[in-house]
């Protein structure tokens, strides 16, 4: 299915089944803010649990933190966010709309790349080239549109590196990029816009202090480095992991939960000895991409992307990109941040922030390797990865389509649904007994409405891995039918074995 078709389907599926709702919907919503519904909350919680276990439970030297959203304003001076947390914005005078200049250019490059791929596929069909063959790859990187993509990319990188905003505008004008909605090409100059939300603490005008909603969770970790290191007595290398809300006044508020104004991050700062950063950079790149693969994201939808422009404090940075319905985009960032953050907090706070190495008897400011992943983007990656429209044959032999969310069972909102085949003859009571036994170990749901076929479809659509049916024979043989979401195969097993049967598919050892 083509991308333009699939994305709206995922968004409406998310709403229809209670995964994600627009915020304040009865008041027509608030741009780029979303609420998670009953099933979304479960899925999100399961993703958090997986990340938390992978970080803290699997590493003796990684500990957790839950720092406050509100922080002393000097934190954001020291971190550089007050002066440099900006997006380059451009106004379209024809439509009076505001855009991110870098995003307009990236979209233009993606358009050339998509055309290049289409041309290559056409040519390959004519010439009989296999995808991936020398001829295919040669044409893919050398056709007219591929060259155009490379040329714009090179100009874009040069413009970013020069810091000259007018060069971004030149690309937009020369490439004849238009407002996607109105087609207008009348562009203003490019200006920088700070993304932090400002608010105040204190009641009186004189006593009030301007503060910011944190735009990332990482700074809460840096300012607690000494507290955590002292109380846990960790030695380098060690990490601090945190999950929490972050806020950015994003201008390009589209693409559903991909880019939100209020979102959640799962960040881990790994404190290391200077000089070991490249080794740890490689380690965490591998560890993090494997995490996504093991939790079920298709390996062919994951790739690394090297940053065009390194932040001034970073000496290496790569993104893990996921192929969202609108193309490969950043899911997670892996950054080698040197001693920038701790040194800056040392400078601005006047407090010594160092580590004493008992082996070398030296004190120094540790280097930091960061892994930073968006919880909401991971959620969207799993929604897009799991969503499948599958042709099936019904019990009556007719062709039908089912929508199935093939989540990893550990991520699925409910692990099992239990049905009595009819609502009488003591079958609901048996089903309830099974629920009462399973509910201590997994989230399970009782369902007695509609035909069993309809109930299967309903649970396929929310990704429930197992449907357990109690039928008339159950009373005699104490067995139930367990139907597998993915294969649709059914097996009959004793009620006493149901818990172990489900638990086998919920083994953290398989994913951590």
Binding site for ligand ATP (CB under 6 A): 216, 248, 250, 259-260, 263, 265, 330-333, 372-374, 376-377
- Of 374 and 463, the one with the shorter C-beta distance to ligand ATP is 374
Provide CB contacts within 8 A for 117, sequence distance 6+. Answer: 140
CA angle (37, 40, 46) in 5-degree steps: 140
Q: How far is the CB of 32 from ligand ATP (least distance, A)?
A: 7
Q: Please, which residue, 334 or 482, has the CB nearer to ligand ATP?
A: 334
What distances in angstroms separate CA 285 from CA 22, 307, 321, 446, one per listed residue?
34, 14, 12, 42
**Closest separation between CB of residue 44 and ligand ATP, Å?**
13
For ligand ATP, give the closer residue by CB, 220 or 465.
220
Which residue number is nearest to ligand ATP in terms of Cβ?
Answer: 374
Q: What is the rounded distance in angstroms from the CA atom of residue 458 to the CA atom of residue 456?
A: 5
DSSP per-residue codes, 85-109: -EEEEEEETTTTEEEEHHHHHHHHH
| Least Cβ distance, residue 106 to ligand ATP (angstroms) | 9
Residue 336: Cβ within 10 Å count: 22
Residue 163's φ and ψ, nearest 5 degrees, are: 75, 5
327-338 vs 316-324, strand pairing mode:
antiparallel
Closer residue to ligand ATP, CB minimum distance, 265 or 469: 265
Q: How far is the CB of 191 from ligand ATP (least distance, A)?
A: 18
How would you write 322-367 as a 3-class SS string?
Answer: EEECCEEEEEEEEEEEECHHHHHHHHHHCCCCCEEECCCCEEECCE
42 vs 376, beta carbon nearer ligand ATP: 376
Closest contact distance (angstroms) between CB of 343 and ligand ATP is 20
Minimum CB distance to ligand ATP, residue 328 (Å): 12
From residue 173, alpha-carbon distances to 87, 101, 164, 177, 298 in Å are 19, 11, 15, 6, 38
CB of 260 to ligand ATP, least distance (A): 4
Shortest distance, position 232 Cβ to ligand ATP, whole Å? 25
If the CB atoms of residues 84 and 491 are measured against ligand ATP, the closer one turns out to be 84
How many other C-beta atoms are found inside a 10 Å radius of the C-beta of residue 29?
14
Under DSSP, is residue 265 helix (H, G, I), strand (E, B) or coil?
strand
Interatomic CA distance for residues 170 and 165, integer angstroms: 9
């Amino acid at each position: 299915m083509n991308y333009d078709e699939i994305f709206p389907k995922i968004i409406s599926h998310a709403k229809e089944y209670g995964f994600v709702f627009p915020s304040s919907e009865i008041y027509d919503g608030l741009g780029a803010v979303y609420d998670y519904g009953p099933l979304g909350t479960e899925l999100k919680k399961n993703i958090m649990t997986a990340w938390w276990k992978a970080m803290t439970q699997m590493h003796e030297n990684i500990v957790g933190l839950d720092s406050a959203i509100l922080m002393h304003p000097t934190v954001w001076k020291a971190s550089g966010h007050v002066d440099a947390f900006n997006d380059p914005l451009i106004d379209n005078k024809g439509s009076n709309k505001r855009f991110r200049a870098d995003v307009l250019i990236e979209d233009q490059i993606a358009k050339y790349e998509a055309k290049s791929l289409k041309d290559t596929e056409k040519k390959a069909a004519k010439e009989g080239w296999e995808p991936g063959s020398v001829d295919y790859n040669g044409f893919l990187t050398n056709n007219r549109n591929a060259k155009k993509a490379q040329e714009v990319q090179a100009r874009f990188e040069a413009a970013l590196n020069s810091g000259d905003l007018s060069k971004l505008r030149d690309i937009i004008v020369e490439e004849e990029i238009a407002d996607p909605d109105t087609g207008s090409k009348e562009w203003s100059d490019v200006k920088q816009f700070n993304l932090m939300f400002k608010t105040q603490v204190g009641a009186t005008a004189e006593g009030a202090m301007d503060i910011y909603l944190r735009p990332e969770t990482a700074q809460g970790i840096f300012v607690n480095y000494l507290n955590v290191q002292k109380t846990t007595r960790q030695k380098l290398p060690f990490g601090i992991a945190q999950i929490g809300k972050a806020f950015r006044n994003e201008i390009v508020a589209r693409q559903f939960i991909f880019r939100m104004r209020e979102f959640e991050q799962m960040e881990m700062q790994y404190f290391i000895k200077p000089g070991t950063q490249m080794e740890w950079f490689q380690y965490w790149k591998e560890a993090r991409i494997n995490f996504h693969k093991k939790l079920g994201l298709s390996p062919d939808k994951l790739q690394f992307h090297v940053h065009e422009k390194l932040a001034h404090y970073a000496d290496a940075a790569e993104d893990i990109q996921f192929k969202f319905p609108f193309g490969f985009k950043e899911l997670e960032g892996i950054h080698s941040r040197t001693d920038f953050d701790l040194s800056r907090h040392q400078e601005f706070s006047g407090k010594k922030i160092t580590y004493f190495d008992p082996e070398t008897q030296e004190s120094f400011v540790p280097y930091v390797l960061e892994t930073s992943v968006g919880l909401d983007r991971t959620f969207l990656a799993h929604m897009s990865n799991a969503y499948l429209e599958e042709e099936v044959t019904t019990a009556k032999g007719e062709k039908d389509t089912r929508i199935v969310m093939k989540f990893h069972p550990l991520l699925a909102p409910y692990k099992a649904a239990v049905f009595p085949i009819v609502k009488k003859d003591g079958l609901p009571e048996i089903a309830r007994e099974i629920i009462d036994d399973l509910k201590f170990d997994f989230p399970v749901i009782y369902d007695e409405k509609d035909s069993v076929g309809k109930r299967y479809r309903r649970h396929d659509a929310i990704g429930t891995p197992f449907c357990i049916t109690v039928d008339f024979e159950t009373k005699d043989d104490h067995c139930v039918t367990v139907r597998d979401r993915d294969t649709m195969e059914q097996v009959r097993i004793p009620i006493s074995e149901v818990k172990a049967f489900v638990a086998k598919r919920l083994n953290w050892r398989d994913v951590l």
